[in-house]
């Protein structure tokens, strides 16, 4: 018995058979070409895009929100935007801008935003790490996150088991990452870092965090402690995925201290510089690690007299406006992104996965935001 196949039928069969094969082969080849084997993620809680791209706001420096005006003028003031932002964030506007990418300068039409409607921390972190905004995540309370996150997904991959770690100043991250389910290491707030065998350095840091001043209250530790905890863990255990969450920018803004807010951002920029230098000096990480920087939400605009810049949330316009930056071996050195476009934080989870040649699937019934293709070399 002969089967007659016309040209149209043949084309259809070829599409059905070859496209999946070619697509799989392309993905495999693309994955093999990637140099990234490790990810380091850093968030600066509630740090506005305005300061990232414009530097210190002279109206706020001269307002009631800045006590040491002369000090801040000298330290962060300048006649041009490019000078001011480089004085505030020297690593961003030297190493990062020359070798990586920075998104979110709305003055140039390049916009980055959150998709969730709440504009505060827990919903923001959920969106970044699960790939979608969830209306059930509408609190900063101790809600166990029902959604699978991308760090949990990484921890399930062969060769990454037990190689994922989170260090945060705010105490809420064990719930955000649902550690009872995800089984990833999360050290947050004033919780001791408990390892099978703590080094002398870790023991000392555990001790210091309880004996030092709790300037941010009982639920949020100082960022330098979070930084030191994570850096020491990095030295000893070489995690493949490492996340630092700093909080002082948000805390000092809520308290209405613009000078402290600027100083915190400047210090965190220096933490990032030292972190990148460590990455580039260690053979385990050098030229095999992508660094991702962002925030969880924006905040209101400052006019020098009002207090909108201190706040964020659904009732505060502009607090959905954010930014992110990427530096690593697979990212073009495009610098400050000037194309008119909008990216969303729900895209970051899949973007992280693509750097490792993986495809992240969200919790059942939810679609993950697509990866941001411009961060990867063609």
Dump pLDDT digits (tens) for 105-127.
Answer: 999 999 999 999 999 999 999 99
> What's the mean per-residue pLDDT of the chain?
91
Is residue 100's pLDDT more than 80?
yes
pLDDT of residue 255: 96
Please measure the distance between the N-terminal and C-terminal CA atoms of the chain and give it in whole angstroms: 49
- pLDDT tens readout for residues 132-176: 999 999 999 999 999 999 999 999 999 999 999 999 999 999 999
Contact 129, 306 (CB under 8 A): no
The predicted model scores a pTM of 0.91
Helix (H, G, I), strand (E, B) or coil at 317: coil
pLDDT of residue 212: 87
User: Percentage of the chain surpassing pLDDT 90?
Assistant: 84
- pLDDT tens readout for residues 335-369: 999 999 999 999 999 999 999 999 999 877 789 99
User: Mind listing the domains of the chain with CATH numbers?
Assistant: 37-375 (3.40.720.10)
Q: Give dist(CA 324, CA 340) in Å, integer.
A: 15
Strands 324-327 and 289-294: antiparallel
Helix (H, G, I), strand (E, B) or coil at 212: coil
- pLDDT tens readout for residues 164-217: 999 999 999 999 999 999 999 999 999 999 998 889 999 999 999 999 888 898
pLDDT of residue 14: 43
- pLDDT tens readout for residues 232-264: 999 999 999 999 999 999 999 999 999 999 999
Q: Give dist(CA 21, CA 255) in Å, integer.
A: 57
Q: Give dist(CA 67, CA 76) in Å, integer.
A: 14
C-alpha 363, offset from chain centre: 21
Number of H helices, E strands in the chain: 15, 11
Is residue 1's pLDDT more than 50?
no
Section 298-325 average pLDDT: 88
List for the chain the helix, strand, coil content (%; round to 5). 45, 15, 45
Section 46-70 average pLDDT: 96
Residues paired with 168 in a beta bridge: 188, 245
- Nearest-10 Cα torsion for 333, 338, 339, 344: 80
Helix (H, G, I), strand (E, B) or coil at 187: strand
């Amino acid at each position: 018995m002969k089967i007659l196949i016309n040209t149209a039928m043949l084309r259809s069969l070829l599409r059905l058979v070859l496209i999946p094969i070619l697509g799989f082969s392309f993905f495999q080849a693309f994955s093999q070409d990637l140099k990234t084997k490790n990810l380091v993620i850093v968030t600066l809680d509630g740090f506005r895009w305005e300061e990232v791209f414009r530097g210190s706001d002279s109206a706020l420096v001269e307002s009631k929100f800045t006590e040491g005006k002369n000090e801040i003028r000298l330290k962060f003031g300048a006649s041009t935007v490019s000078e001011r932002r480089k004085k505030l964030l020297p690593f961003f506007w030297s190493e990062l801008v020359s070798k990586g990418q920075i998104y979110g300068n709305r003055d140039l039409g390049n916009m980055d935003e959150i998709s969730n409607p709440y504009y505060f921390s827990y919903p923001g972190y959920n969106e970044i790490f699960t790939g979608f905004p969830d209306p059930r995540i509408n609190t900063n309370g101790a809600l166990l996150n029902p959604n699978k996150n991308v760090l949990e997904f990484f921890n399930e991959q062969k060769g990454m088991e037990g190689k994922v770690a989170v260090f945060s100043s705010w105490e809420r991250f064990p719930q955000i990452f649902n550690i009872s389910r995800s089984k990833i290491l999360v050290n947050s707030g004033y919780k001791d870092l408990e390892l099978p065998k703590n080094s002398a350095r870790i023991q000392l840091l555990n001790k210091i965090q309880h004996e030092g001043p709790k300037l941010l209250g009982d639920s949020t530790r100082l960022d330098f402690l979070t930084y030191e905890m994570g850096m020491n863990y990095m030295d000893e255990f070489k995690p493949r995925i490492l996340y630092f969450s700093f909080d002082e920018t948000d805390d000092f803004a809520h308290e209405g201290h613009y000078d402290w807010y600027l100083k915190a951002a400047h210090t965190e920029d220096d933490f990032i510089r030292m972190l990148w230098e460590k990455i580039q000096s260690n053979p385990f990480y050098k030229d095999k690690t992508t660094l991702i920087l962002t925030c969880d939400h924006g905040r209101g605009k400052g006019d020098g007299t009002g207090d909108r810049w201190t706040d964020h949330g659904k009732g505060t316009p502009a607090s959905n406006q954010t930014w992110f930056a990427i530096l690593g071996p697979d990212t073009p050195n495009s610098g400050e992104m000037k194309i008119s476009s909008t990216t969303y934080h729900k895209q970051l989870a899949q973007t992280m996965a693509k750097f490792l040649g993986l495809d992240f699937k969200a919790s059942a019934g939810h679609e993950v935001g697509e990866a941001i293709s411009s961060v990867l070399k063609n």
